[in-house]
Structure 1
Amino acid sequence: MAVPAPQEPALEDFAGDALAGLSATPKTLPSKYLYDTRGSELFEAICEQPEYYPTRTELAILKREANAMAEAVGPRAMVVEYGSGSGIKTQRLLSALADPVAYVPIEISHSALNASVAELAAQFPHIEMLPLCADFLQTVPLPEPERAAERVLIFFPGSTLGNFANEAAVELLATMRAEMGENGAALVGIDLKKDPAMIEAAYNDAAGVTADFTLNLLDRMNRELDANFDRGCFSHRARYNAIAGRIETHIVSEIAQTVLVAGRSIDFAAGEGILVEYSCKYSQSDFAAMAHRAGLVVTRSWTDPEKRFALQLVEPLPELAV
């Protein structure tokens, strides 16, 4: 199935965000720009690394608990997925749901969206595919399915919520609450707090795939923003901040240097980093408190035996339902 005209970030948006972030102190870049075509491919490879437990753990939860999740959601749902990626987890959910009427993936990578929808459309010909190539952080009107849905289910697996600082994560949960409507729900993946050594290993795999994924952002800026980053002069660094409860990923300049980006000179000191991603880890109570601030309540939770990961079903607080 062909995906509608892409709404990926315009080049001027990328340039503006890059220059603003690289001119700030400390330097930052939005994590969404990690996911160009090559970045999306590398992220799929990260998920296959032995150190990266979140994907296989979440898939195991979905395999074991999908029927219970489907019962909690109910029949004839319209599934809206933020950041659909390859769609492997989606296959398990759609297979279990009772008579889902439509699937609405919202994905910033046009190539990833095309591939995912093509595969899912072949597997689920009875489910209407309504893809949106857009940034799920931006408000986009949801399409109307041909068959009326009983409820909207927002599917947000993969611990992507953890890529946002606390306030931004609460805002995103509030956006979900607004989009799901009075009778809606969201199924959200969260990575739970655990041994810091296990967490750090997941973001520093021995094969170097995560480092390649991070440094690919430099290649993208070279290609799209006429930058002249030398990848050999930068390195990947991912460390767990136990106080904040999150992995903080930086691209670190190994030497003092000046780089051109979109016609502007950006100075780096030796050892200076660019923050490119957070990966927050939660306790069950952490997430419940965030959900409550967004007008949501956790109604069901599924986790693995080792309590490494959880899928949380949230619904609007009754007193705040609209």
Structure 2
Amino acid sequence: MSPFTVTRTLPADATAAALRSDVLHGLTRDPKQLPPKWFYDAHGSELFEDITRLPEYYPTRAEREILTHRAGDIAQATGARTLVELGSGSSEKTRYLLEALAGLTAYVPVDVSESALTQAGESLLAEHPELTVHALVADFQSGLTLPETPGPRLIAFLGGTIGNLLPDERAVFLSAVSSLMTPGDFLLLGTDLVKDERTLVAAYDDSAGVTAAFNKNVLTVMNRELEADFDPDAFDHVALWDAENEWIEMRLRARTAMTAKVRALDLAVSFAEGEELRTEVSAKFREYRVRAELGAAGLELRRWWTDEEGRFALSLASTADGR
């Protein structure tokens, strides 16, 4: 078998169809909202990489700190022979795990972007020629099926991305992951933690305006892909802390009353002055809440690590009957 294979489980037009559906339903509801995955075209991905280097944006640095110091502990606790990474992207942080997992034979990156998977897979194989890479072009929220690979398996979902899912969506996602696991398998989960409001808001509303450009990029995506005519300059970037739900919301606020047309959907979208479009929810967590949500999905929290300042956590969980 080739050491690098790419399997597409998404139809060729799945991304375009999902965008059309999300925009149609999200912009005709009250209040208006869109899922954050539509930030990430090529330009949006570049902007997000810029965000991770901003002084205000701590999650990437904090998670990297944990991986740097705890990758050996993760390897010892799991003995993984297969690493599955959900939403792998560039697989940059994966390298800490690959270096530590001495018995690893297979890597299964999962992402909706085939180009990102190919680029990352070829790069990793150059560094780790002993690995077999089974790349999956798939949506980890939609009926994921994993290839046959040696166990035990470590399923990694890093970056705090689980916080972009609403509570009901998290429950469905964690149950789906749990159903993929057998005794001996582990889930490594990255979660951003609750902290003071000032630090949280600053991470999503940086002084250089990079996050604002990232937020407005969803309008550019709709303009290009759906023949829309949104004016990004007609909206303000807003980041708010919702203390009750313990999450950050990113929104776009209309500066004036306007109507935008989405020609590909034959849709006219009206905004009142000051009306907001929610573009992202980013939940923040506490240890007891992570434990409870894992438990509801049939998983048991085994290990919990934070960075030195306690800003971010990596948790290791297995099935309740696992070891």
TM-score range, shorter chain: over 0.9
The separation in 1 between residues aligned to 2:145 and 2:167, in whole angstroms, is 25
1:287 equivalent in structure 2 = 290
Query: After the TM superposition, which residues 198-209 of structure 1 pair with which residues of structure 2 at under 5 Å, given as runs?
Result: 198-209=199-210
Aligned pair partner of 2:95 in 91, 104, 108: 91
Deviations 1:92-140 (A, max 9, x none): 0111012212111111223322322222121111111111122111113
Query: After the TM superposition, which residues 107-256 of structure 1 pair with which residues of structure 2 at under 5 Å, given as runs?
Result: 107-145=111-149, 149-256=150-257
Query: Per the alignment, in what secondary structure is the counterpart of residue 93 of structure 2?
Result: helix
How far did residue 2 of structure 1 move? 7.1
Distance 1:29 1:199, change over 3 A: same
**8 Å CA contact retained: 2:78, 2:184:** no
Deviations 1:10-53 (A, max 9, x none): 32331121011100001011222222222222111111111110
The separation in 2 between residues aligned to 1:211 and 1:110, in whole angstroms, is 27
The separation in 2 between residues aligned to 1:115 and 1:212, in whole angstroms, is 26
**8 Å CA contact retained: 1:40, 1:112:** no
Distance 1:6 1:213, change over 3 A: farther
**8 Å CA contact retained: 1:193, 1:281:** yes
The separation in 2 between residues aligned to 1:277 and 1:113, in whole angstroms, is 24
1:51 equivalent in structure 2 = 56
Aligned pair partner of 1:14 in 19, 38, 52: 19
Q: Any stretches of 5+ residues in structure 2 without a counterpart?
A: none
The separation in 1 between residues aligned to 2:166 and 2:15, in whole angstroms, is 24
The separation in 1 between residues aligned to 2:184 and 2:233, in whole angstroms, is 52
Deviations 1:56-77 (A, max 9, x none): 011011111110111001142x
**8 Å CA contact retained: 1:36, 1:109:** no
Q: Any stretches of 5+ residues in structure 1 without a counterpart?
A: none
AA matched with 2:78:
V
How far did residue 226 of structure 1 move? 0.7
**Worse overlay, 221-230 or 258-267:** 258-267
**Worse overlay, 270-279 or 105-114:** 105-114
Distance 1:112 1:75, change over 3 A: closer
1:299 equivalent in structure 2 = 302
Cα RMSD of the aligned pairs, angstroms, is 1.6
How far did residue 184 of structure 1 move? 1.3
Distance 1:281 1:73, change over 3 A: same
How far did residue 3 of structure 1 move? 4.2
Displaced runs of 4+ in structure 1, greater than 3 A? Answer: 1-10
Distance 1:268 1:162, change over 3 A: same
**8 Å CA contact retained: 2:80, 2:153:** no
**8 Å CA contact retained: 1:40, 1:85:** no
The separation in 2 between residues aligned to 1:150 and 1:56, in whole angstroms, is 30
The separation in 2 between residues aligned to 1:186 and 1:23, in whole angstroms, is 37
AA matched with 1:155:
A
TM-score, length basis structure 1: 0.94
Deviations 1:223-252 (A, max 9, x none): 000100011101211111111110011122
Distance 1:38 1:114, change over 3 A: farther
